[in-house]
Structure 1
Amino acid sequence: MTPDDATTAREPWQWPEHVWRGHVDAVRAGQRLVPDRWPGGARAAVALSFDPDHETIPLRDAETSPGRLAQGEYGARTGAPRILELLEHHGVPATFFMPAVSALLHPAEARAYASDGHEIGVHGWIHERNTLLGRDDERDLIARSLDTLASLTGTRPTGIRTPSWDFSDSTLETVLGLGFSYDSSLMADDEPYEVLARGTRTGLVEIPVDWIRDDAPYFTMDRYGSVRPHTRPRDVLEIWTDEFDAAYRDGGVFQLTLHPHVIGHRSRLVVLRELLDHISAHPGVWFTTHSGLADAARAQLRPHSPEERS
């Protein structure tokens, strides 16, 4: 049941059970989708992703100073080429979730991702905040982003990551309506799972993310705010190494979210290089795109029961 406005206007501690339960049940994790072995008999899967946000972060907030925009330009001018070189050296595919405005500003970069065999995924129009948008505006921006990336790269994306992992009340409906096969914005598990909509199976595969496996919380800098880089790069290497080692022991997935304007700096790229060296030294690791991972996960979906089909 969807809570009505009159009810939700109350304080949360005043909500009747059907209201708080309705919010919780709107989007939930269903079946965990992990095979006994990954493709090729691999023991664990590794899915690297990069969000080339570039200038869209300040543009979204109407911050147009050359200084702020230059921070984003660094990602396109310096970070992205370094990342592509590193991935080529290790023979590792990755997924690039790119805002449409970033792709329009840097079309050669978007095409380079595709031509190098990497996946392009949708990441909003201008890194908008979905929870601040109306249903129609959100759908329009995602649809335009999908069409823009398809036009620029020649390949229609099959996956989406909402900007800032911001998932609104209408995001799931929009994602399903536009035909995406997977999402990578939610955090209900370490492993892929099927998304449920109010208890109903959707067939949408979720490739879960987490702030632990994201470079931005460790390294982001805001000159006029309170956000400061608070972790040494080598401390982050230890965290991510522990995350991979645990996934390897479990036979699960190690998923990582990175940003060219963040991880692309020299002292931080050293950390990513050493992490890839560590992972590559383990036998039975399957490096894949998020789309490839979603396909392998989808193969684990159990058939719909007669009750579900009806």
Structure 2
Amino acid sequence: MTEPHEWPEEHWRARVGHIRAGRGLRPESWPRGAKCAVALSFDSDHETNELRDGAESLARLSWGEYGARRGIPRIRAVLDKHGVKASFFVPGVSALLHPDEQRELVAEGHEVGLHGWIHERNTLVPPAEERELMLRAADTLERITGKRPVGMRTPSWDFSDVTLDIAEELGLLYDSSLFADDDPYEILNRGHPTGIVELPVEWIRDDAVYFMMNRYGAQRPYTPPADVLDIFRREFDGAHAEGGLFLLTMHPHITGYRSRIFILDELLAHIRATGDAWIATHEQIARYCAETAGLKGNA
């Protein structure tokens, strides 16, 4: 294998061109005269954070259980208080460990989307196995919730060489794992439009980067919760000013603590106070963008 500085132009162009942002899908107007759209998402990793690495720590497994036992109820209570619906991205194994949680979320009008099988790092999984795991996860979520998922978020926020091919095979409406914009866009696969809506993520709008720690390493939480709220609020204010999308990623085992749940509560109060923000599930936002832009044929 040659060094990157030795690659011929056709090689690095092909690498860069594999998955790209196509046309922007931010609509000229949002439903009901809203100025911006808000997509709240919760990655319900639960015990799979540790299981994917071989389940070496029983204590870390219990940390994942906390997300289901305490985090999810607190999050649901805040969402209910403000009368909003959200999207929960759930690994297949998490759904099997906590099936009632998924059924209740769907019954309440929330969305449950794909998040891998066991929170695997999809870029390290052979292509045939990645396909089998995605299909198995989709079947599992459908069996538990009664509704087949129409969107995905990869556990590693990354694509392998075949991830997008599998998403096309599954006929997914949207993905929420990539970073090429603030607002929705259509994903291109080797130059051809896929019809799949990308709802972009960003580490800035993810609670994990501010609050994660490693007991045996140097990683420690470094940002006070009040400062995290300020960052999220400023991200929303920017989306509101531009008329775009504000997408937030949170984790039940990270934000679901007594000292942190206020972030979600106060952020929603701030968003609702504008009076002109459309808060919807990822599916609803992706479907609206797809229909407005005339995208063909997924989900």
**TM-score w.r.t. length of structure 2:** 0.97
Structure 2: gaps (5+ residues): none
Deviations 1:256-287 (A, max 9, x none): 00000001011110111111110110021101
Q: Distance in 2 between matches of 1:297 and 1:214?
A: 23
Superposition deviation, residue 303 in structure 1: 7.1
Q: Tell me which of 19, 28, 35 is aligned to 2:20.
A: 28
In structure 1, what is the equivalent of residue 281 of structure 2?
Answer: 289
Q: Tell me which of 252, 255, 271 is aligned to 1:260.
A: 252
Q: Distance in 1 between matches of 2:206 and 2:233?
A: 13
Q: Tell me which of 250, 253, 257 is aligned to 2:242.
A: 250
| Aligned partners of 1:78 and 1:264 also within 8 Å | yes
Q: Distance in 1 between matches of 2:156 and 2:11?
A: 26
Q: Tell me which of 190, 212, 217 is aligned to 2:209.
A: 217
Taking the TM superposition and a 5 Å limit, the aligned residue runs for 1:162-173 are 162-173=154-165
Deviations 1:20-40 (A, max 9, x none): 000000000011111121011
Q: Distance in 1 between matches of 2:130 and 2:98?
A: 23
In structure 1, what is the equivalent of residue 33 of structure 2?
Answer: 41
Question: Residue 99 in 1 paired to residue 91 in 2?
Answer: yes
Letter in 2 for 1:275: L
Q: Distance in 2 between matches of 1:31 and 1:89?
A: 37
Superposition deviation, residue 15 in structure 1: 0.2
In structure 2, what is the equivalent of residue 136 of structure 1?
Answer: 128
Identity across matched positions, percent: 56
CA RMSD of aligned residues (A): 1.1
Q: SS where residue 241 of structure 2 aligns? A: helix
Letter in 1 for 2:233: T
Letter in 2 for 1:90: H
Superposition deviation, residue 225 in structure 1: 2.0
| Aligned partners of 2:174 and 2:198 also within 8 Å | yes
Question: Residue 88 in 1 paired to residue 54 in 2?
Answer: no
Q: Distance in 2 between matches of 1:67 and 1:257?
A: 24
| Aligned partners of 1:31 and 1:301 also within 8 Å | no
Q: Tell me which of 142, 145, 157 is aligned to 2:149.
A: 157
Q: Distance in 2 between matches of 1:56 and 1:186?
A: 22
Q: Tell me which of 208, 226, 230 is aligned to 2:222.
A: 230
Q: Distance in 2 between matches of 1:147 and 1:271?
A: 34
| Aligned partners of 2:47 and 2:64 also within 8 Å | yes
Q: Distance in 2 between matches of 1:199 and 1:100?
A: 31
Question: Residue 187 in 1 paired to residue 187 in 2?
Answer: no
Q: Distance in 1 between matches of 2:164 and 2:238?
A: 30
**TM-score w.r.t. length of structure 1:** 0.94
Taking the TM superposition and a 5 Å limit, the aligned residue runs for 1:118-129 are 118-129=110-121
Structure 1: gaps (5+ residues): 1-8, 305-310
Deviations 1:60-113 (A, max 9, x none): 000332211011010000000000111011001000000010010111111111
Superposition deviation, residue 302 in structure 1: 5.5
Q: Distance in 1 between matches of 2:294 and 2:143?
A: 35
Q: Distance in 1 between matches of 2:286 and 2:219?
A: 34
Spell out structure 1 runs of 4+ moving beyond 4 A.
none
Question: Residue 148 in 1 paired to residue 143 in 2?
Answer: no
| Aligned partners of 2:117 and 2:137 also within 8 Å | yes
Superposition deviation, residue 297 in structure 1: 1.0
Deviations 1:220-246 (A, max 9, x none): 111112221111111111111110001
Superposition deviation, residue 301 in structure 1: 2.5
| Aligned partners of 2:195 and 2:295 also within 8 Å | no
Q: SS where residue 31 of structure 1 aligns? A: strand
Q: Distance in 2 between matches of 1:157 and 1:216?
A: 24
Q: Distance in 2 between matches of 1:94 and 1:303?
A: 24
